[in-house]
Structure 1
């Protein structure tokens, strides 16, 4: 960054460029628009169902038909991509997570429905086993260990099923070693060379995921914790190593998760690698802001906009956020 040269007061008055809306607009360094957002949608069984999630006020689980309608509305508002997450029925959960690569599971079915109704919108799917496992982990559990290489076999099958369903972006969120290379090779070998990988490259073992686990129905299933594969929140340099590995294995984009508590990591990743960099404003971040706003402690429109611009200021190219639709609707009225 070039060194700034500042004249002494009164020749330098920084308030000159803040004195009116037009000059504040002209001098603004960063902006956020609907084209910067990915909207996560939770999918559940049934038809014509919209089910509130108690720990995420304002967010609902949608049946496949409702999700397709919602995606059409998102596209109309300029949101370029939706990310789908399943609330898998308990009877389909298992130790070996076979439902993850069922071509007719909830997210694969929803992907096809959305692509039929709104072919121009991007669809992103997570590559991870936790929504399909009886134990709530992102990998295969053998005894007390999440086994890395056996999990890679399952992730490869899941990724191919998602690509076949029409997913545009695969988001490996499992944090297993070597998974990006395995998935990229599988995509290349099975005639999916244009499928994008957005790696959850720096995913931390965070306290901010609780409402998400409620949303996908996994909150009571997790055995132990995820600290043997998700990252220690105290570590920053490790994130750079993880990003470097994933880019070298064929990731097209990288993600930092959670978002606001890790803006420093977002900045370091973008400055070091220059790759397309995203952050996930996760369920706990959403719940904190939404709860404070619902209690009248924060101005919702201003707080949401300020939280999103923070990601752009930190160097992110885009944000996965549950606020995407309301932000887009607000922008459409201005």
Structure 2
């Protein structure tokens, strides 16, 4: 059969728009830019060297000085924001998580220092008690120790949010998934005159198996004795789409400024539906387990590291996320 005989009579050939790199770039619908990224960072006390996190290759716990240096580097790469998570010594943890309300606690000192050194960088702080409790849960426990006490926890989170805002956090980010905490925190901030502090709500945070390396990084796994800590009574059920959307709608009604889905990769359908339902900015957190599994597969030679990393972020952005919290942020911004 000749070439002319084999040619199909097609009016439209989509491959025309994939023929060269220049054409592909011209028609590309989704682009991940440094300005879309937020880098989560871990801070520890002291003046020592960074502590590599074994379960998160390439990530370390940094002293405040190291944190400042990293924030300066991220700023220079065009990354507009960082999320700071403290890793406290176990001696500072209690059942009630009282260290969260210490006005000189580690994360507050870190925020003050970073804001003074890099004022143009947006700082996001976590509002939850898991770094401060000796049981690893995000709030105080009920009298029988079998669950987290919702309303008592919310009262503590309100005080915690005010301290973070006063220290200079641009966003307080409640990650605890207690009912009503967004509205209560908004009222607490406004009554304290902290009306400019925004709330980035962990709105659809699922009870996911992907959090294990993060729990190692902040020490909540060590406190609980396992990184498989069950939080099913307050985090969203991974099986439930409608329930997760209800959570996002409640947070919007209560005054959230940004709505977040966490994890990102396994919940792209939630990101897409949320993007279609709200006019608020949508954030997605590509969590530690997503990051580490790409590293692990690449180290075994099973996946191309760079292509898999980039594809994972494109998928999150394409689903509708305006901003992505990711441990890949620095590499992406540096073009590595």
Does the 8 A contact of 2:284 with 2:323 survive in 1? Answer: yes
**Which deviates more from structure 2 when the two are superposed, residues 144-153 or residues 177-186?**
144-153
> TM-score scaled by structure 2?
0.94
1:1-334 to structure 2, matched below 5 A, reads 10-142=10-142, 143=144, 144-222=146-224, 225-330=230-335
Cα distance, 1:48 vs structure 2: 4.1
Q: 1:9 to 1:173 in 2, by over 3 A?
A: farther
**1:7-49 CA deviation, whole Å, 9 max, x = no partner?**
x951110000000011101111111100000000011111142
Does the 8 A contact of 1:48 with 1:65 survive in 2? Answer: no
Q: 1:9 to 1:202 in 2, by over 3 A?
A: farther
Does the 8 A contact of 1:56 with 1:286 survive in 2? Answer: yes
- 1:110 and 1:221 map into 2 onto residues whose CA distance is 22
**Which deviates more from structure 2 when the two are superposed, residues 275-284 or residues 295-304?**
295-304
**1:115-174 CA deviation, whole Å, 9 max, x = no partner?**
111110011001000000011000111222211110011101110110011000111000
Does the 8 A contact of 1:48 with 1:66 survive in 2? Answer: no
Unaligned runs of 5+ in 1: 1-7
- Aligned residue for 1:123, secondary structure, equals strand
Cα distance, 1:95 vs structure 2: 1.1
Paired positions, count:
324
Instruction: Give the number of the structure whose alpha-carbon radius of gyration is greater.
Output: 2
Does the 8 A contact of 2:198 with 2:257 survive in 1? Answer: yes
> TM-score scaled by structure 1?
0.95
- Aligned residue for 1:271, secondary structure, equals helix
Q: 1:9 to 1:62 in 2, by over 3 A?
A: farther
- 2:308 and 2:9 map into 1 onto residues whose CA distance is 33
Does the 8 A contact of 2:90 with 2:223 survive in 1? Answer: no
The runs of at least 4 consecutive aligned structure 1 residues that moved more than 3 Å come to none
Name the structure 1 match of 2:3.
none
Name the structure 1 match of 2:5.
none
